[in-house]
Structure 1
Amino acid sequence: MRIAKYIFLLLLLLSIAFIVFIATQPNQFNYHSEKTIASPRNTVYQYINDYKNWPSWHPDLTSKSKVSISEISFGEGASLSWNTSKITTTRVFPLDSIFQSRAENDKKYDLYWKFEEVNGATKVTWGIKGDLSFKEKFFSFLKGGNEFIYTSKIEQGLEDINDFLVNELSSYNILLNGVIQVQASYYIQHKDSSSLAEFSIKTNDALNKVQQFVKQNDIVKNGEPFIQFNSWNLESEPLYFAACIPIEDEILTTPLSDITGHFQEEYQALKITLQGSYYHRKEAWKKALDFIAENEVYQLDKNYSITEIHKKGRAVTSQPSEFITEILIPVISTVGTTKPAVTQPVAQPKPVVTQKKDSVN
């Protein structure tokens, strides 16, 4: 009987010591891991910033997860929900960092990302921080420690991001299609400029702005969105461009609107098809310009702009290797053919389209 009493007291003392040990563990945690990914910083940043990509790599998402993504899937205010969890982007600094909050049942945590360029690759830091209740500290101890739980998931996620992007970036094809006749058309545009590093981000934002304008004003589109370049040199900064959408009928916008309507005359262009990430844009341009320089039948026609038509882009697929971009380099024949005269069609009277404030802010 006395032995049983001693055993009971010993167990009680051990239990008290264990409780004290758990209680004295830090109430806050901040765990992170980092990995250098062999992809450009712009590519990595955009991939992580867009929640449409998360089901393909996030360690907590499985094929059985009921995933819900906000209508605008990237940038501040975008969100991703599944089961009892929700992640919301609270602040972004393009190409530098992303801050998010995660709500899980009655708990809230902060997530953060940091992007640093390292010799053409990108060092990515992913972390999570928050508060721990006694219950959470207890169960984390039984599972091997809170740091082990979180860092193992973070490291797995970073590894999956690396595998996906490296494979996606290396899968591309550039096809020289030949010289075509580009038909005349009406279109609307939003002009902007960007540094080389932020070009994909700025063009994506500009295209979304024009698409939102089209949707809000019930404008009938007449083809895929495209980008017009004001420069023939991708190395020059800033890069001036226009995000455009072809439309069926001419429209008039208010004088202060940054969305404007235009008419494009018919012209000749060398067509190149890039299947894969926009990262290979420079190589595609070079292949086209080299072909023109070596071919005496055509020369560059700088009365028109180089155009990229996004036949299949981020709005359709989250896999860069599936992007399809048609690049049109304006040319003129040197063998004396005459360019057909194109007269702008007489537009039927249309009501003035007034841009809504929230479509351009």
Structure 2
Amino acid sequence: MSLSAIILLILVVFVAILVYAWTRPDTFSVQRSLTIAAPAEKLFAFINDFNRWPDWSPYEHRDPNMKRTIGGASNGKGATYAWEGNKNVGKGRMEILDTQPPSLITIKLDFEQPFEAHNVAELTLQPVAGGTNVTWAMRGPASFMTKLIGSFMNMDKMVGKDFEAGLAKLKDAVKS
């Protein structure tokens, strides 16, 4: 195979990847659920208070030196939580946009590093037989770079795995 044929092949593959990324959806969503043997009110108290996030968030222990700043009240509408840490946690800010005790917490997520992104997370609590079904969902716009990265890495699997770990930690935290 000649050098020009190899270059042409590489160019065709590169263009194909760009076209594939361009055709991906302009938004993304990730969602996981777990039924926890606890009342919604108890679970709501853990989720709605940023001071309690170290007890259950899967992101809290990825950097033991992570700087955390809770602004104003630690819970309820308007509470903020900013973090800055190593490459595993990056830098960003969360703000509780809305709460509907004991069934819904809506959080605005602003990631600054390692990449900029602006998403919304919702934690929904639904009483069921034997406890509460907790659903952790995140949605947001998919920039071209997000689509390009998503062509090689499955966002649902990556973030979904974190949500599953967080829900399992929440289950353990409410037991203690």
TM over 0.5: yes
Q: Which residue identity does 2:162 align to in structure 1?
A: K
Paired residue for 2:55?
A: 56
In structure 2, which of residues 150, 154, 161 is the aligned counterpart of residue 152 of structure 1? Answer: 161
Q: Could you say what secondary structure the match of 2:167 adopts?
A: helix
In the alignment of these two chains, the number of paired residues is 165
In structure 2, which of residues 130, 140, 150 is the aligned counterpart of residue 140 of structure 1? Answer: 150
Deviations 1:62-95 (A, max 9, x none): 2221011123111100111101211100111111
Q: Distance in 2 between matches of 1:9 and 1:70?
A: 55
Is residue 2:140 matched to residue 1:130?
Answer: yes
Residues 174-253 of structure 1: pairs in structure 2 closer than 5 A: none
Which structure would you say has the larger Rg? Answer: 1
Q: CA deviation at 1:33?
A: 0.5
Q: Could you say what secondary structure the match of 2:12 adopts?
A: helix
Q: Which residue identity does 2:32 align to in structure 1?
A: S
Q: Which residue identity does 1:159 align to in structure 2?
A: A
Q: CA deviation at 1:120?
A: 3.8
- Percentage of identical aligned residues: 26
Deviations 1:111-167 (A, max 9, x none): 10111111241100010000111112222333x21111211111111111111112x
Paired residue for 1:13?
A: 12
Paired residue for 1:43?
A: 42
Deviations 1:156-187 (A, max 9, x none): 11111111112x1xxxxxxxxxxxxxxxxxxx
Q: CA deviation at 1:7?
A: 1.6
Q: TM-score, normalised by structure 1?
A: 0.44
Q: Which residues of structure 2 form unaligned runs of 5+?
A: 85-90
RMSD: 1.4
Q: CA deviation at 1:108?
A: 1.0
Q: Distance in 1 between matches of 2:125 and 2:55?
A: 20
Q: CA deviation at 1:57?
A: 2.0
Residues 33 and 20 of structure 1, relative CA distance in 2, 3 Å threshold = same
Q: Could you say what secondary structure the match of 1:108 adopts?
A: strand
Q: Could you say what secondary structure the match of 1:73 adopts?
A: coil
Q: Distance in 2 between matches of 1:96 and 1:57?
A: 18
Paired residue for 2:87?
A: none
Kept after mapping to 2: 8 A contact 1:27/1:131: yes
Paired residue for 2:108?
A: 101
Q: Which residue identity does 2:3 align to in structure 1?
A: A
Q: Could you say what secondary structure the match of 1:5 adopts?
A: helix
Q: Which residues of structure 1 form unaligned runs of 5+?
A: 169-361
Paired residue for 1:116?
A: 126
Q: Which residue identity does 1:35 align to in structure 2?
A: L
Q: Distance in 2 between matches of 1:79 and 1:116?
A: 25
Q: Could you say what secondary structure the match of 1:59 adopts?
A: coil
Kept after mapping to 2: 8 A contact 1:137/1:146: no
Q: Which has the higher contact order (CA 8 A, sep 6+)?
A: 2
Pick the structure with more helix per residue.
2
Kept after mapping to 1: 8 A contact 2:20/2:151: no
Q: Could you say what secondary structure the match of 2:151 adopts?
A: helix
